[in-house]
Structure 1
Amino acid sequence: MILLDTREFDHPIPLEMATSAFKKLSGDEVIHMIHRREPIPLFEIILKNGGRYHRVMERDNLWHIYITRSSTVVLEHTDV
């Protein structure tokens, strides 16, 4: 699992970090992104480029987003 903790960064740095990591994903790799916002533009990029994601809001202003290209990885069971 690739951890991206982007809580300390302002837009557009978290989006750039996540898209860069997403481009390099292969096989069953998963990105675990921690963000203080729900990154809706990122979700659109992931879906347009053949990826999948699962998001979990731990509490206000703390999101965990799991991203993969794999069709077999079960992201829904990835809990915080």
Structure 2
Amino acid sequence: MEFVAVDVSELAPPEPMTVILTALANLEQGDCLFVTHRRQPFPLYEKLTQAGWAYHCQVHSDEQISLFIYRQTEHQQFERHLNDQNFQSTTK
């Protein structure tokens, strides 16, 4: 699984959602989008699940999160990677 990184932590709304959705539209099969953000993008989560994406959020502080977005069909592949890395968060 390859990771494509985007940093939206300095962008004002609605730019983070636009950047993330554009990056997902260009994401190749088997890849994962790695997003650096300053907060959890709650409005994005419902859009992701409706469109067949899954996500994993890792909260570092009140102003920094890491968000991994991947296809729901690649959940097992992501879980294997997640277990190898020992991330401590909830996957949806």
Identify the TM-score tier after normalising by the shorter chain. Answer: 0.7 to 0.9
Superposition TM-score, scaled by structure 2 size: 0.77
- Specify the code of the residue in structure 2 equivalent to 1:12: P
- TM score, norm. by length of structure 1: 0.87
Residue in structure 1 matched with residue 17 of structure 2 by the alignment: 15
Q: Greater CA deviation, 33-42 or 65-74?
A: 65-74
User: Structure 1: any 5+ residue segments left out of the alignment?
Assistant: none
Indicate the RMSD between aligned Cα atoms, in angstroms.
Answer: 1.9
Which entry has the higher C-alpha Rg, 1 or 2?
A: 2
Moved over 2 A (4+): 70-73
Question: Which residue matches 1:59?
Answer: 61
Structure 2, gaps ≥5 residues long = none
Identity of aligned residues (%): 24
**Structure with more of its chain in helix, by fraction:** 2
Q: Number of residues paired by the alignment?
A: 80
